[in-house]
Structure 1
Amino acid sequence: MRRLGLLLLTGSATLLVFGFWIPLKALLAQELLALAWAKSQAGQEVQRPWPWADTWPVARLAFPDLGQSLIVLEGGHGESLAFGPGRVPTGAAGPWIIAGHRDTHFRHLGELVPGSEVRLQGRDGQWRRFQVASTQVVDSRRAWIDPSRLPEHSLLLITCYPFDSFDSGGPLRYVVTAKPWPASGDPGDGPDDRVARL
C-alpha cells in the first residue's frame, strides 16, 4: 500500500511539473528576451537571447488595456513560438503579422475588442500605435492570409482557437486586425504607465 501511495505521489508530481513547464518556460524566456531586446536597441544590432537561439527579438508588443507587454521574436515557427510571439515574415515592406500560442503569450487576445489600443516598438525605440478594427475566427483549412493584399501599415495578431481547448493543433484561428491609430489621436512616445511597469 505504501508503494502504491508513493507511486501515485510521484506520478502526480511529475504531471504537475510537466503541466507548469510550458507556461514557466514562456515566462522565464520573456525575461531573457527583454535583456536581449535592450541590448538590441542600445547597439542597433541583432542580439540573440541565448547562444544557441535560432531567433532574436525584433519588437516589443504592448496591450495597454490589458497591462501586458511582450517581446516579439523573428519567425513564426515552433522554436520561436515556444518562447514568445513571433513575427511571420512578409517581406521588407508590408504589414506586421504576429503569431502566438493561445495558452501562453496570446492567452488574453480574446479580451481585445474593436477600439482597443495595441502598441508596437521597433528597434529604433519608436512606438507605433494601432487600434483594433476587428476580431474574427477563421478556419485555416479554408482561409489563408495573403500579406500582399493587406494594407502596408496594418497589424495582424493570430492564435489558435478556442482559447480554452485541450486539443492542440486544431484548424481554427483567432485573428485580430489592427490599423494605425487615427491621426487625430495623441501619438504618444511610449506605452502608458500600466505597460511601462511590466
Structure 2
Amino acid sequence: MKPSVYTTTHLWIMALIILLGLGLIVQGGYMQAKAHFAQFLIERAFEQTLVDNQPHKPWSWADTHPVAKMRLLQTHAQGTQALGPDLYVLAGASGRNLAFGPSLMLGGAGVGEQGNTIIAGHRDSHFMRLQYVNVGDMIELYSATGKLQVYQITTTQVVHETATEVLNQTENSQLTLITCYPFDQLSGNAQYRYIVQAKPMV
C-alpha cells in the first residue's frame, strides 16, 4: 500500500525539522568550543604577560590583550567562595572584545591606578554572575604585573543608560563593574545598567 501524499509530505517536513535541529545543535556545540578555546588563549596570554611584563595578544589578529584577572568572592558565615571561574579582563570595551570577556574601559583608571577603574561585561555571559553578588562580597583583581588588589562591594544599583555619572573619575580608588539590565531580558536595546561598585580593602 502506497503512503498518501499527505503522509509523505509530513515525513519530509519531519525530516527537515530533524535536520535543522541537528544543525543548530552542531552550531551551538561549535560556538561553545570556540568560546572555551578563546578563554584558554586569553588565560595563556595573561600568564605570558606575568612572566615578561609585556602585553601579549591572545591570537595573532586580536586588537586587544588581557590586562587583569578578576575573581568574585561571595562571603558566607563559613568563609568565602568563588562565584564562578576566574575572569580575564581585556583592554578596551569594544563590542568585539566584550564578546570574549569583560573589558576595561580605557576612559577610566587603569588596573592598579588611582581613580575609577571601570570594567564592562555582557549580562548573558561573563557578567551574568553579577546578579548574585551582594554588598560585602569581595572582588580580587590581579594586575598584569601580578599585584593583587582586593575590593569590597559597597553598592549595587540599577540606573538608566543616561546616568553616565557612574563613569566619572574619582579622587579615591574604586572599582566599577557595569552590565546591561535586566538579566533575564536579552533583547539588544537595554535601557538600564546594573552597577556594582567596590572600594579597595587596605
TM-score, length of structure 2 as denominator length: 0.81
Q: Which runs of 5+ in 1 are unaligned?
A: 184-198
Q: Is 1:41 matched with 2:42?
A: no
Distance 1:17 1:167 in 2: 24
Which structure: larger Rg?
2
Correspondence 1:4-43 to 2 at 5 A = 4-18=13-27, 24-43=33-52
Name the counterpart of 1:70.
87
The TM-score, its normalising length taken from structure 1, stands at: 0.83
Tell me: CA distance 1:151–1:112, structure 2 relative to 1, closer, same or farther (3 Å): farther
Distance (Å, rounded) in 1 between the aligned partners of 2:23 and 2:171: 48
The equivalent of 1:118 in structure 2 is 139
Task: Kindly report the root-mean-square deviation, in angstroms, between the aligned alpha carbons of the 2 structures.
Answer: 2.0
Matched residue of 1:51: which SS? coil
SS at 1:108's partner residue? helix
Bigger drift between 89-98 and 63-72 goes to 89-98
Q: Which has the higher contact order (CA 8 A, sep 6+)?
A: 1
Counterpart-to-counterpart distance in 1, 2:173 and 2:137: 17
Query: What is the correspondence of 1:50-69 to structure 2 with a 5 Å cutoff?
Result: 50-65=59-74, 66-69=83-86
The alpha carbon displacement at 1:6 in A equals: 1.9
| Corresponding residue of 2:165 | 145
Residue 130 of structure 2, aligned match among 106, 109, 132: 109
Q: Deviations over 1:69-113 (max 9, x none)?
A: 110000111110000000001256532100001111011101111
Query: Where do 1:73-112 residues align within 5 Å?
Result: 73-89=90-106, 90=108, 93=113, 94-112=115-133
Query: Does the alignment pair 1:173 with 2:188?
Result: no
Identity of aligned residues (%): 36
Distance in 1 (alpha carbons) for counterparts of 2:85 and 2:151: 15
2-structure distance, mates of 1:174, 1:91? 20
Structure-2 residue corresponding to 1:130: 151
Structure 1's 32 and 136: CA in aligned 2 closer, same or farther, altered over 3 A?
A: same
Q: AA paired with 1:171?
A: Q
Counterpart Cα distance in 2 of 1:24 and 1:173: 29
1 CA distance for matches of 2:44 and 2:20? 36
The amino acid that maps onto 2:89 is V
